[in-house]
Structure 1
Amino acid sequence: RKPQEQIPSDFNLVSEDVEFFSRRGDVKLSGWYLPGDDSGPHLIFVHGIGSVRSGDKAVGLAARIVGLGYNVLMFDLRGHGSSGGDKVSGGFYERADVLGAFDYLLRRGVDIGRVGLMGFSMGAATSIMAAAQEPRITALAADSTYANASELIAREAARKTPIPGWLTPVFMPASKLMANGIYGIDIGSLVPEESVAGLGYPVLVIHGTGDKRIPLEQGQRVAGAAKEGSSIWLVPEVDHLDAFLTHPDEYTERVDEYFSSRFR
């Protein structure tokens, strides 16, 4: 498993090591609670596949966010970092991990009407699908999300194997059956562009126009399906999850502007 890239003390952040269970009750998850202002909103950071809570400069972003008064919960999804479990499901089981993080904040007695999700890559897609199952979540920012897992898997298969692109759809039904039969994962249900349409509030979508891992068009579809008032920040020529790295000030401002508008 990938080790943590950074730790809160690297940024002079106060942190608390925390543990809680996925809402499914099957996996114990590990994280950091980073306190900001007692009266400030709470954001749950959700990392991408193969990453960890501190991946993709997330601690640096958290430091800026905490400095603005937010409280941040960062944790490792199942099968990643210090958390339990060994199955990675592209968001299918991870939805319950995000909801477990929400439940943890509920037990801490926070203002549950001021809790938002900040997801990255698979974590962005997972956050959208989790929010669709939890009406008490009322704000969400998605950086580099996919719109439809089946399409993304087909694209990756065409890119990484000698199978001609036109043949890939022929193999997808078998792949879905195998995932369902062996792991209980319904790949066909992982469609954030459908989940986001059911959210009763506008969201923020961030996507680099040079994203080589998840095509820009996927993020645009999610933004297009979201409630009126949603916004998409297209970051010119930026690759996958590099928007904060290349535009840290603007990234922080846009994220703060969005969540501040939701938690007035």
Structure 2
Amino acid sequence: MKNLKKKRLWRWVIALFALLLIIDFGVTLYFYKVACVRNDTPVSQVKSSSPNYSLVKKFDKLPKSTETITSDHLELKAWYVPATVRTDKTVIVVHGFRQNKSAMRQYGELFHELGYNVLMPDNRGAGDSEGKFITFGYHDKTDVIAWANYLTQKNPQSDLTLYGLSMGAATVMMASSEKALPSSVKNIIEDCGYTNAWDEIVYQAKSSYNLPAFPLVYSVSLESKIRQGWFFNEANATKALSKNTRPILLIHGDKDTYVPTKMVYENYQAVKSGTPKKLLIVKGATHARSFETDPKLYRKTIAQFMSTYNPISK
């Protein structure tokens, strides 16, 4: 009788464990789709009520060409906007999570007005570029480097700046210490980037769904490793900054609850000793709204940083 009860108990335990695995598998696939699978739903744009809406309208009138490269067997597209006065100085403007290049028009116009050529890529898995997955900067950093090499090959005199917003910010930070990044890249500007994909996704799981890291984030990270070849903690901006030697400007809103403001302080402290760095915290700004919250301060800070580390020749 006792043996029979034990067998039944073990059957229940095994059945319960199997059920939990099935549930976790289903939930994992759902959240992997939410976080990592391409979704071409139209992205939000700058509202007509924004103080920067005029920049978008100006940008739309600028002459632009479509540039194409192949990176990691994917065809990637970008807008290229030449400066009004010919220059060898170009800013690569990298968009954020579930955005595309059109969402970055106010930033493109900002750098155009400062006198720079502007290249605005669609990340892999977004806009007009190929790709099935969102990679939180892990593979995107290779694509940014490919764009930098493309510009440098077209014009060996190029002096480049990498600018990124949110996931794009994390991407340019991750690219900063890569050996393949050409010496033509002179400086980096990041706005509201996270420390690493693991920390950001754990934070989002808790803040948006009230879910702990275990087991869900672990299993979604494993799914990423199986499908894309990387764990979430491998998309690490903070680690890259510890090796970065290029001047960097870090920007964040003090009311950011999507990528918490504390992350910018971790990234700022991580920058390799001796590397020029500057920190701008914009009061009252939520996620990716620093430019719209205080346009004058944002423009002034970027203009000063650019004039120091990638100046337009007079």
The normalised TM-score by structure 2 is 0.76
Do the aligned partners of 2:253 and 2:288 also contact (CA within 8 Å) in 1?
yes
| Match for residue 140 of structure 1 among 188, 196, 199 | 188
Q: Does 1:214 align with 2:259?
A: yes
Distance in 1 between the 2:106 and 2:220 partners? 38
- For the 8 Å contact 2:138–2:235, the answer to whether it is kept is yes
Which of 169, 172, 180 is equivalent to 1:124?
A: 169
Per the alignment, residue 92 of structure 2 pairs with 44
**What is the match of residue 153 of structure 1?**
201
2-side partners of 1:161 and 1:97: how far apart? 32
Q: CA deviation at 1:226?
A: 1.4
Matched, 1:29 2:29: no
Q: 1:108 to 1:237 in 2, by over 3 A?
A: same
- Code of the residue aligned with 1:109 in structure 2: it is N
1:92 has 2:141 as partner = no
1:236 partnered with 2:259? no
Map of 1:15 onto structure 2: 64
Instruction: Label 1:46 to 1:156 Cα distance change in 2 as closer, same or farther (>3 A).
Output: same
Q: Distance in 2 between matches of 1:8 and 1:99?
A: 30
Residue 248 of structure 1 deviates from its aligned partner by 1.9
**Structure 1 residue ranges without an equivalent (≥5):** none
Asked if structure 2 preserves the Cα contact closer than 8 Å seen for 1:40 and 1:69, the reply is no
The amino acid that maps onto 2:285 is: V
Deviations 1:221-246 (A, max 9, x none): 11111144311100012100101112
1:102 aligns to what? Answer: 148
Letter in 2 for 1:60: Q
Q: Tell me by how many angstroms 1:149 deviates.
A: 1.5
- Pick closer, same or farther for the CA change 1:257–1:10 going to 2, 3 Å: closer
Q: Distance in 1 between matches of 2:156 and 2:123?
A: 22
Q: Which residue of 1 aligns with 2:294?
A: 247
Distance 1:178 1:237, change over 3 A: same
- The whole-number CA distance in structure 1 between the counterparts of 2:260 and 2:107 is 24
Q: Counterparts of 1:67 and 1:124 in 2: how far apart (Å)?
A: 21
| Matched positions, count | 256
User: Which of the residues 107, 111, 122 maps onto 1:76?
Assistant: 122
Matching residue of 1:259:
306
How far off its partner does 1:124 sit? 0.5
Corresponding position of 2:235: 190
Answering whether residue 61 of structure 2 is matched by residue 61 of structure 1, we say no
Identity %: 25
Runs of 4+ more than 6 Å apart = 6-9
Q: Superposition RMSD on alpha carbons, in Å?
A: 2.0
CA contact (8 A) 2:253 2:287 kept: yes
Q: Is the 8 A contact 2:91 2:119 kept in 1?
A: yes
* Change in CA separation of 1:102 and 1:10 when aligned onto 2, cut-off 3 Å: closer
CA–CA separation in structure 2 for the residues paired with 1:191 and 1:218: 12
Higher gyration radius (CA): 2
> What is the letter of the counterpart of residue 161 of structure 1?
Y
Please list the CA deviations of residues 117-169 of structure 1 after superposition, one character each: whole Å capped at 9, or x if unmatched: 00000000011111211152231000001012211111111223343x4xx24
DSSP-derived class of the 2:92 partner:
strand
Q: Which amino acid aligns with 2:233?
A: G
Q: Which residue of 1 aligns with 2:222?
A: 177
**CA 196–135 in structure 1, closer or farther in 2 if over 3 Å, else same:** farther
Distance in 1, Cα, partners of 2:60 & 2:134: 30
